[in-house]
């Protein structure tokens, strides 16, 4: 097996250059035949015309390879146009002189300056130089097309790698934001439970059960890319129930929910931080903390509004919760969400609009 693998590697290593060499030999053989046919028009094609074409091949091959392996990849493709123009001019000048010398030596060796044998002289030197230039230009055009296609493939591969790296970065950033949200949310809830436990309240077991449901949602369900909006609402209700135990008669929460479909989905833990923020930063006015929550969802748009009572001396509401949710919205719903926050003397109002993809 080992020797077979070595054999395959050697065969692959040799086969590719061999095939490329054979292609070049076949191509230049075709050019020799083409030159013989062109230069022999109007004359009797004999071996002199064929040999004359062979004398022109070194100049033709050299100019072509200089163009496709040096001028195009090093100067034209890299957009070094000035250098490309200068070196192309040099190449053209050398090609012209090389062609003139090739014609001279071809005539010297093939005809021994016997005019009756110079059948090729029916074609002018300008025509011969033009023919060689056309070969160089045509081959260069195909090479340029190949280079452009290869560059397009490389750019596409690079873009794919960049997008993959951006996606991984977004995933890591989202995980980091969730890690921040969980301890923050848990800290507030445990504070509430601690207060009830000190009072040995009868609601403590029920509170532990609701907290258990919330922790299950935070630890496991938030790993999903999407959850049903009804599931998010259910945990919002559990959270409100926990806070009612803490606030007792000083809390008044009203909730208006209208769902067009049970299949509507959103990113998990997207609305709950806004609710938590209202409880944390809301102000008790006239002995009551007023919170109003409105959730309306169609197949394409989710409308969420929450407002809480606010005192004149209350500092600007925000903190980790709102900062994180803003970042998550930018990552999860770029150009597909609208978030407005209004902090006035009497109320703190948050309005969120999400454009979602309908689920079939």
Nearest Cα to Cα of residue 218 among 269, 177, 172, 175: 269
Residue 221 pLDDT greater than 70, yes or no: no
Could you report the per-residue pLDDT of 141-187, keeping only the tens digit for each? 999 898 888 888 888 888 878 777 666 666 666 565 555 555 655 67
Could you report the per-residue pLDDT of 45-79, keeping only the tens digit for each? 455 778 888 888 999 999 999 999 999 988 888 88
The packing angle between helices 125-199 and 229-247, to 10°, is: 30
Instruction: Look at residue 167 and tell me if it is in a domain.
Output: no
Instruction: Look at residue 170 and tell me if it is in a domain.
Output: no
Q: Are residues 325 and 227 in the same domain?
A: yes
Please tell me which residue, 328 or 178, carries the higher pLDDT value: 328
Give the pLDDT score at 163. 72
**334 phi and psi, to 5 degrees?**
-65, 130
Instruction: Look at residue 12 and tell me if it is in a domain.
Output: yes
Instruction: Look at residue 177 and tell me if it is in a domain.
Output: no
Could you report the per-residue pLDDT of 227-245, keeping only the tens digit for each? 888 888 988 888 888 788 7
Q: Are residues 90 and 234 in the same domain?
A: no
Give the pLDDT score at 122. 46
Chain-centre distance for alpha carbon 168: 12
Identify the sign of the CA torsion 190, 194, 196, 197.
positive
Range of the domain at 86: 2-161
Give the pLDDT score at 153. 86
Instruction: Look at residue 238 and tell me if it is in a domain.
Output: yes
Nearest Cα to Cα of residue 349 among 341, 360, 357: 341
* pTM metric for this prediction: 0.52
How sure is the predictor about 293, in pLDDT bands with cuts at 50, 70 and 90? very high
Instruction: Look at residue 23 and tell me if it is in a domain.
Output: yes
CATH number (domain holding residue 234): 3.30.565.10
Considering 108, 140, 161, which residue would you say is the last residue of a domain?
161
As a whole number, the mean pLDDT across the chain is 79
CA distances from 347 to 228, 295, 311, 350, 354 (A): 29, 18, 8, 10, 23
**112 phi and psi, to 5 degrees?**
50, 35
Average pLDDT over residues 94-100: 90
Instruction: Look at residue 187 and tell me if it is in a domain.
Output: no
Please tell me which residue, 86 or 115, carries the higher pLDDT value: 86
- For every residue of 96-144, DSSP letters joined together read HHHHHHHHHHHHHHHHTT-GGG-GGGGS-HHHHHHHHHHHHHHHHHHHH
Note the residue count of the chain.
360
How sure is the predictor about 352, in pLDDT bands with cuts at 50, 70 and 90? very high
Give the pLDDT score at 116. 53
Beta bridge partners, 339, equal 352
Q: Are residues 36 and 150 in the same domain?
A: yes
Give the pLDDT score at 188. 64
Considering 107, 136, 161, which residue would you say is the last residue of a domain?
161
Give the pLDDT score at 121. 46
Domain count, the chain: 2
Average pLDDT over residues 195-216: 74
Q: Are residues 56 and 132 in the same domain?
A: yes
Considering 113, 140, 161, which residue would you say is the last residue of a domain?
161
User: For residue 29, how many C-alpha atoms fall within 13 Å in the half-sphere facing its CB?
Assistant: 6
Instruction: Look at residue 176 and tell me if it is in a domain.
Output: no
DSSP type of residue 87:
H
Contact 350, 274 (CB under 8 A): yes
Name residues whose C-beta falls within 8 Å of residue 130's C-beta, 6 or more positions apart in sequence.
Answer: none
Of 58-67, 164-173, 198-207, 333-342, the one with minimum mean pLDDT is 164-173
**289 phi and psi, to 5 degrees?**
-95, 115
């Amino acid at each position: 097996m080992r020797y077979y693998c070595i054999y395959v590697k050697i065969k692959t290593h040799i086969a590719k250059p061999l095939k490329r060499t054979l292609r070049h030999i076949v191509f230049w053989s075709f050019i020799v035949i083409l030159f013989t046919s062109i230069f022999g028009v109007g004359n009797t094609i004999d071996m002199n015309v064929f040999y004359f074409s062979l004398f022109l091949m070194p100049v033709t091959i050299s100019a072509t390879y200089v163009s496709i392996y040096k001028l195009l990849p090093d100067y034209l493709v890299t957009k070094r146009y000035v250098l490309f123009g200068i070196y192309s001019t040099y190449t053209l000048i050398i090609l012209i002189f090389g062609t003139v010398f090739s014609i001279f030596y071809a005539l010297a060796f093939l005809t021994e300056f016997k005019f009756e044998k110079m059948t090729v002289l029916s074609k002018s030197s300008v025509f011969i130089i033009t023919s060689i230039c056309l070969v160089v230009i045509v081959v260069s055009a195909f090479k340029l097309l190949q280079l452009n296609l290869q560059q397009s493939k490389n750019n596409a591969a690079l873009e794919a790698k960049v997008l993959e790296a951006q996606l991984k970065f977004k995933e890591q950033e989202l995980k980091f934001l969730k890690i921040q949200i969980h301890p923050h949310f848990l800290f507030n809830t445990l504070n509430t439970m601690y207060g009830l436990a000190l009072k040995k309240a009868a609601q403590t077991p029920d509170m532990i059960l609701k907290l258990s449901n919330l922790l299950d949602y935070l630890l496991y369900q938030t790993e999903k890319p999407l959850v049903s909006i009804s599931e998010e609402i259910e945990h919002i209700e559990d959270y409100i129930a926990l806070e009612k135990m803490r606030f007792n008669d000083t809390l008044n929460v009203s909730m208006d929910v209208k769902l067009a479909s049970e299949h509507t989905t959103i990113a998990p833990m997207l609305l709950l931080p806004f609710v938590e923020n209202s409880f944390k930063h809301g102000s008790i006015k006239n002995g009551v903390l007023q919170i109003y929550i409105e959730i309306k969802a169609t197949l394409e748009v989710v409308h969420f509004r929450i407002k809480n009572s606010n005192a004149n001396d209350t500092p600007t509401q925000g903190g980790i919760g709102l900062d994180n949710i803003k970042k998550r919205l930018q990552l999860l719903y770029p150009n597909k969400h609208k978030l407005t926050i209004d902090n006035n003397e009497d109320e703190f109002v948050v309005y969120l609009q999400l454009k979602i993809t309908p689920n079939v």
